[in-house]
Amino acid sequence: MAFHQAPTDGEPHPEAHLHVECYPPYRMRDRLKFLAGSEIGAGVFTVDVDPDRTAAEVQGVEVSLD
């Protein structure tokens, strides 16, 4: 579910109105993650990586404190 409203910049926006969009669950067994309503509504994907793989990558980084 996503909510869209008029901008909050203090200016009048007669073209904008509050509306709600309801999305069905996009779930597939072979998908890495499920799309959240906020991701679909905003058109962006957040943290779309496997956490175990990312942890292994971070652990493999060499840090030198000279």
Note the pLDDT tens digit of each residue in 3-49.
Answer: 888 888 999 989 988 888 887 766 666 665 566 666 777 777 777 67
Q: What is the pLDDT of residue 8?
A: 87
d(CA 7, CA 14): 11
Buried b (16+ CB within 10 A) or exposed e, 11-36: eeeeeeeeeeeeeeeeeeeeeeeeeb
Q: Is the whole model's pTM more than 0.85, yes or no?
A: no
In what helix (H) or strand (E) does residue 58 lie, and over which residues does it extend?
helix 51-59
Q: What is the pLDDT of residue 19?
A: 87
Q: What is the pLDDT of residue 31?
A: 63
